[in-house]
Every structure is written in C-alpha cells, then in structure tokens.
Structure 1
Amino acid sequence: MSAVYIRPTALAASPQSEEGEAIRLAGGMVYASRFAVIVRDSAEDGGRVVSRTRCGVEAMPDVLGALPDDLAAEAEAQWGNLTLAHPPLEMGARTVRMDQPQVVGILNVTPDSFSDGGAFMDDPDAMRTQAAAMCEGGAAMIDIGGESTRPDAREVWEGDEIARVVPAVETVSGMGAAISVDTRKVGVMEAALQAGAHVVNDVSALRHDPRALEFVADRGVPVILMHAPGDGPNPHEDADYGNVVLDVFDGLKERRDAALAAGIAAGRILLDPGIGFGKSLAENLALINALPLFHALGHPLMLGVSRKRMIGALSNEARAHERLGGSIALAMKGMEAGYQLLRVHDVAETVQARNVWRGLRDAALTDFAELPG
C-alpha cells in the first residue's frame, strides 16, 4: 500500500510575515507556510517516492482532494496533526507546558556513557550537585538513565540498573523536579516510578521488553517512544533505510499505533526520531533537516542531539566534552522546528539560548505592526 507524508518545507517567525498564509505548528512558536505532499510506494514495491507536490496553505485543500482515496484520510489526519496544540504534561503537582521549547537535563548514572560515564554513578554528592545545577539552570525535567545505549555498550542486568537509578530518582524527586527514566526494562520502569519518576523514556519504543506496552498502559504515565532500528541488546543494529526520513516516520507511526492499540492514551505519547541511533552522519543530517515533518504524527516531540558523535565528525573530531557549540546549534534547529523537549547535557547554556530565541519569537509577532497595510 502506498504512503503519504506532509512535510513543512518553509518556516516563518510569525504568521503576518506570510500575510496570514501560514499555520502554527503544534500550537507552538513556529509557523509553516510551504509544504511538500509526498507519496511513495509500499516497501514491497520498493518504497520509491512517486510524487512530490509543493504548495502553500491556500492550495492544500485542492492538493489533498486530488489524492487517491486510499491516501486521502491519512493525509487529512496529518494536515490536522500539524496544527494540533498539545496540552501540558500533568504529572501530579508538576506541569510541563508543550507550547514552547522545554529543556530536559541528562543525568547518567552509568560507568560507560559516551559523555559523562562514571562521573555521577559512584559519587552521590557529585550526582546531587549536578542535578541541583540542572534544576537551578532551568531544566523542566531531569532524564535519569542507568544503562548506556552508545554503540557496542554492554547490556546491564536489570538489578544493577535499578540499583543505579533508584537513588538518583529519589534524590532528584526530593528537589521537586519532574523526572523521566531512560530505560528499556519494565522492572526498572516500575522501580523508578515507585521512587518518584513520572515519565518513561524508552529508546526501543517499548519493543525491548515484551511486558512494556501493557505496563505503561496500566500505569497511565507519559511515555517517550524513540526510533532505533534494533530491539535487542544493541539498539543500533539492523539499520536498513531506503529513505531514512520517511522510514523513521513510518517506524514511529508503527510504534505509536502499537501503543494506542495497547491502551496507552494518545495524550500520554511523545515521540523522538532517535538521532544517532543506527544512523550514519548523512542520515542524521537528513533527519535534522526534516525535523518539522514529525509533527504530522500528532504528538509532542523530543530531540536528543547533545554532544553526539555527529558533532565531532563535523568538528575535527572534537571530544564529547568539547561539543557545546555544536550541541547548541542543533538544539536551535530543534527550536526552529517547533520541538517541545530538548534533551541536553548543558542545561543552563541551552536554557539561555532558548530564552534568547523566545525573545526573538515574541518580538517577531509585532515586527509588522507599524507597517502600512
């Protein structure tokens, strides 16, 4: 069966800069005025792009109306999803708004994470200091992980992962922060939620542990479904893309549909294109340039690009701790694409960049106020 995709291709700082011919992406601070409506064959027929129609807002009804009947309903749903405003994430006394970019701080309690492995696992004081700095720096959420998912990392026994994660969750919970737990295992999810976590962040999109879909549905907590090609010990394995952008879109759509079928509420699902997971440098760059497309799936979006290997590849092999500039540049791409959550190591610096970006966006709404009509 053929598939259709609506990709925003021209973004604007305000609707008046396009004389009203722009839509507000996902109820946020980014507007889109031009789009590509893409149709491609099914995977069985080669997955080739067979048509690409470019249009503006005014012409979109005609373009959608000309699609074959088997694609029209999906295209209409995607067009509606692009403008779907997402309510705040309500987590007890904690609320994270989805109408502007929010910064999520990374707290790894592992010995072997690519950037800060070992720094916070065996030193509770250092972990507490880092968590407090991220909270004070403006993090809307802290993402705590006890298993490295870098390429070739060894899988961690569930009991060891729980022993790493739970003390960190308890510490951060005492600071009043919203917390997500970065894990693929139901036992770790359950222990972390009992310790005070609020969100499950699964790099396998609930594929690795066969109990995960049912568990998350039963607990009713928000879940972040990330794209990665492998569902075994190594999430980077089994990558085989014909068109990485459209294949990742299809992969996230399939996992979103599986979550819905399992009883997870649509309003509790967030998506992440999985930059760096089983993707080459060229494929990562293609995905980043296509970030706005994923709003067509109709859920809040997370972008995790902080200190990643692609930055080093583009910067004379800069080491992980030397990648702040590249991390900020990619976070800005996420802001420009309307992403709601930015997962980063350098919280205060990213929050400052976000605040300046937001000031520019607020000012853009009045840029044309004094021009003659």
Structure 2
Amino acid sequence: MQFIDLAAQYQHLKIKIDKRIQTVLNHGHYIMGPEVQELENELASYVGVKHAITCANGTDALTLAMMVLGIKEGDAVFCPTFTFFATAEVIAFEGATPVFVDSDEATFNICPIDLEKRIQATIAEGKLIPKAIIAVDLFGLPANYPEIQKIADKYNLKLVEDAAQGFGGSIDGKRAGSFGDIATTSFFPAKPLGCYGDGGAVFTNNDEYAELLKSYRVHGKGKDKYDNVRIGINSRLDTIQAAILLEKLAAFPQDLTNRNRAAQKYTEELKDKYKTPVVPVGYVSSWAQYTLVAEDREAEMAKYKSQGIPTMIYYGTCMHQQTAFKALGYQAGDFPVAQRLASSVFSLPMHGYLLVTDKLSKYHV
C-alpha cells in the first residue's frame, strides 16, 4: 500500500501526459514556454481570481508574496507554529520576525482568538510593526478566513493564504487560493495538485501585485531581461512541469471527489476509535493528508505498520521549537494546543486512487 500513489495516477493519465511532454520536447521552449501561460490561465479560472503567476516552488511563491508586500526588518508577520518550516522561513528570509500563533483544537488551523491576542501583545510591546498574517490551509482544510479577514481588517494587516496543502478546498463555494490579499500554493508531487518535480504559483486579484510578481520572478526585469528595474529572484516554472500540470488539473475535480470519498470512508470506520478530522459546515477539504489524533500514536502507528499500511507524522516539532527560531525566546507551554497536536497526530495514506487501488475495506483501519 502506498502512502501517496503517484504511479497509479500517472498510469491513469499516461497517454495524455506523455503527449503533453512530447509536445514540449518538439517545440523546445523549456523555460516559460506556451504551456506556462496556458496553465496560468487555467489556474486563475479554477481558483476564481484575476491572476495566477507560476514560479519554481511553493517556498518561492511565499517569498514572492513577502517581496510584493514589502515585508522587511522590523516587521512582524503572524503565522501558525504548527505547520511546515517554509511558512515562517520566508518571513525571516526577508529580515522580518515571525510571531507564532497557537492552533484551533478542532481544525488544527491557526486559531483566530489566539491570533488577535498575539497581535495585541505585539502592538503593546512596541518593538515590531505588525504587517501581515500568513494563514495555512493545513492538511487540505482552508483556515477560518471569514474570521481571520475581520482581524486583518481591524488591525490593517495584509492577509496571505498559504494554500500549499489546501488547493481544491473551499469555503461556501469560494476556492482555496482566492482568500486574502494574495495566496500561494505548491505543486510538490505530494500535494493535492502536484507536478513531477518542484513548482508553485501565486494568486491575486490585485493588478499591481500581479505585475510585480511577474517582474520579481525573473530577476526583477522590466521591459526585457536586460532591463532590470528591481532586485528579484530566479523562479520560473519549467514548461514540462506546466504541461504535466495541465493534464493533472483537468483530472483534478474527479481526483478531489475520490479523496473526499476515501476520507468519508476513513471517518465512518475510525470515528469511534480516534479523534477524526473536523470539516466545518460550508467547508470542503482537499485532503492533502488524513490526520488522526491518538493518545499513544507510536502504538497506533505500529499496528498499521504490521498490516502493511504506511503512516506519517506531520509535524512533530512546532515552529517555535525549531533550532532556527530559538532566539525568539518562546517557552514550553506558550502554544499548548499546537504542542499537544505535534505530539499526538499521525496521518494515513491519502490520494485520489485509494479506493480503487488499495480497497480500504481489506485493511482493519
């Protein structure tokens, strides 16, 4: 049994993907070829925003968002402590300070109540200038954007959606990637929509942001590559990856349906044994991971291993506990919910072909 069965998806789409790749090999435009613009148009249409700008990976997507928003030394950017390192890394990379926020016990996402407390404490301390919030769509479930946006507006903060895991999710029909001032995603192979290498994208309805993003991702170029009007980075999506993503995006709605069916089956069979994932009314998860809470997760993971079922831990060490952020001075107990989750969650296999290739009923899940 595969944790994420990329081979099964490739076999299902093989003829179409191979044809797309061959087209790129034939025209030879490997960097920023026509498939890149085609993909950007399709992504913008799917998400429901004016602009989708692709880049080399999800971390670069967040970095580009920080650059566009002018995040710099002396700024405070609020983000969850229970997430992947890149969310906070890009803040520090710009010289700003990540201010960590505890998790919501039910959804695992950033807690709006604790977020406002951290903003107020930062303002009262007066050492940093609050500038932005990065909310993460953890495990595929969009964060509580209706509440987070109210907080952002109240304190005049920019809101960034980190939809690396949330692509395909939604709140009341509004899709992940369309929340806040700017949103990002990753096309890492294990993501809900993944390519066969690295890739990422930034989404926005702001025309000015879109033009800046297009410049920043190619060395800060102006009218051509020898007219560099600002300091940028080199972060372009390869044309072959764009070609692959075009076919995977076309198949994505069915993949998303399959993921939700698999998640429903998991929940039906496991709800009496574990704390199963919560999907609030009006929300749709893209199920990047199906994550359980257990009192003794090591023992539970061992039981699954004995049946040939792989499991994974996301994320065993909170951001405030990472060596790179020790200088910020957080103490044990500062984020009780996040630390409890970090020591008790584990994830089961999840992909769009789970019910077809693995027949969950034959396992004692």
Report the TM-score, using the length of structure 1 for normalisation.
0.30
Q: TM-score, normalised by structure 2?
A: 0.30
* Structure number with higher strand proportion: 1
